[in-house]
Chain A
Amino acid sequence: MTDIKLKSFEDLKQKIKQESLRKEKEKHTVLTVSAGTCGQARGSLKVVEALERTIKDKKLEDRVIVKVTGCHGFCEAEPNIIIHPNNLFYQNVQPKDAEDIIQQTVINDTVIDRLLYKEHDTGELKSTGPEIGFYKKQMRNVLGDNEYIEPLNIDDYFAVGGYSALVKTLQEMSPEEVIDEVKRSGLRGRGGAGFLTGNKWAFSRKAKGDKKYIICNADEGDPGAYMDRSLMEGNPHRVLEGMMIGAYAIGADEGYIYIRDEYPVALKHINVAIQEAEAHGLLGENILGSGFNFKVRISRGAGAFVCGEETAMIASIEGGVGIPRQRPPFPAVKGLWKKPTNINNVETWGNVPLIINRGADWYSKIGTNGSKGTKIFSLVGKINNTGLVEVPMGITLREVIFDIGGGIPEGKDFKAVQTGGPSGGCLPKEKLDLPIDYESLTQAGSIMGSGGMIVMDENTCMVDVAKYFLNFLRDESCGKCISCREGTQRMWEIVNKISGGRGKMADLDLLEELAEAVKDASLCGLGQTAANPVLSTLRYFRDEYISHIRDKKCPAGVCKELITYSVIPENCTGCLACKKVCPSDAVSGELKEVHIINKEKCIKCGACFEACNFDAIKVE
Chain B
Amino acid sequence: MLHDQTEFEDIILKHPQEKRSLIPILQDFQSKYNYLPPVALNMVSQALDVPLIDIISVASFYNAFSLEPKGEHQITVCMGTACHVRGAPKILEEFERNLKIQTGHTREDGKYSLDSVACLGCCAIGPVVVVDGEYHAQTSIRNAGKIVKMLEKKEKIND
Contact = CB atoms under 8 A, between A and B. Distances in A.
B65 A302 contact: yes
Given A302-B62, A304-B62, A607-B94, A454 B81 contact: yes
Contacts of B18: 319
Interface string B116-145: 011111111110100000011100111001
Given A321-B61, A381-B85, A456-B85, A606 B90 contact: yes
A322 B61 contact: yes
Interface stretch (A38-46, A519-527, A544-552): A38-46
Contact of A42 (B61, B86, B97, B137): B137
B90 A303 contact: no
Contact of A41 (B54, B85, B128): B128
B124 to A, nearest CB: 3
Given A300-B27, A302-B64, A38 B124 contact: yes
A399 to B, nearest CB: 19
B26 interface: yes
A145 interface: no
Interface string B72-88: 00000001111011110
A476 B118 contact: yes
Nearest to A40: B135
Nearest to B78: A223
Interface string A381-408: 1100011000000000000000000000
A380 B63 contact: no
Contacts of B57: 321
A583 B97 contact: yes
Contacts of B119: 221-226, 262
A500 to B, nearest CB: 14
Contacts of A468: 81, 84
Given A605-B97, A610-B142, A300 B23 contact: yes
Contact of B141 (A302, A380, A418, A605): A605
Contacts of B58: 319-321
B120 A262 contact: yes
Contacts of B125: 38, 41-42, 75, 78, 386
Contacts of B140: 610
A223 B85 CA distance: 12
Secondary structure class of chain B's binding surface, majority of residues: helix
A386 B121 CA distance: 13
A213 interface: no
Given A223-B79, A223-B80, A305-B118, A454 B124 contact: no
A164 B20 CA distance: 34
Interface string A587-615: 00000000000000000011100110000
B141 A606 contact: yes
A302 B23 contact: yes
B64 A229 contact: no
Given A319-B20, A468-B84, A262 B117 contact: yes
Given A76-B124, A322-B62, A41 B136 contact: yes
A318 interface: yes
Contacts of A340: none
A610 B145 CA distance: 13
B62 A226 contact: no
Q: How large is the interface on B (under 10, 10 to 19, 20 to 34, 35 or more residues)?
A: 35 or more
A382 B141 contact: no
B81 A460 contact: no
Chain A CB count within 10 A is highest, among B22, B82, B136, for B82
B23 A316 contact: yes
A493 to B, nearest CB: 18
A152 to B, nearest CB: 20
A41 B137 contact: yes
Contact of B63 (A37, A302, A386, A418): A302
A89 B119 CA distance: 29
Chain A CB count within 10 A is highest, among B22, B26, B93, B128, for B93
B102 interface: no
A387 B117 CA distance: 21
A395 to B, nearest CB: 20
A76 B81 CA distance: 17
A37 B94 contact: no
Interface in B32-81: 50, 54, 57-58, 61-65, 79-81
Given A302-B27, A303-B62, A226 B136 contact: no
A223 B117 CA distance: 10
A307 B88 CA distance: 25
B149 interface: no
A460 B87 CA distance: 10
B122 A302 contact: no
A452 interface: yes
B22 A319 contact: yes
Contact of B122 (A37, A300, A605): A37
Nearest to A387: B124
B118 A605 contact: no
Interface in A219-239: 220-226, 229
Given A302-B23, A320-B58, A418-B81, A225 B118 contact: no
A317 interface: yes
Of all A-B residue pairs in the complex, the 7 with the closest CB atoms, nearest first, are A75-B124, A303-B63, A302-B62, A226-B121, A223-B119, A41-B135, A223-B80
Given A223-B79, A386-B124, 14 more contacts: A75-B125, A76-B124, A222-B119, A224-B119, A226-B123, A261-B64, A262-B119, A300-B27, A303-B64, A319-B58, A320-B54, A380-B124, A468-B84, A605-B97
17 contacts: A37-B135, A38-B124, A78-B124, A223-B119, A226-B119, A226-B122, A263-B121, A299-B23, A303-B62, A305-B118, A319-B50, A320-B54, A322-B61, A380-B81, A380-B123, A454-B123, A610-B142
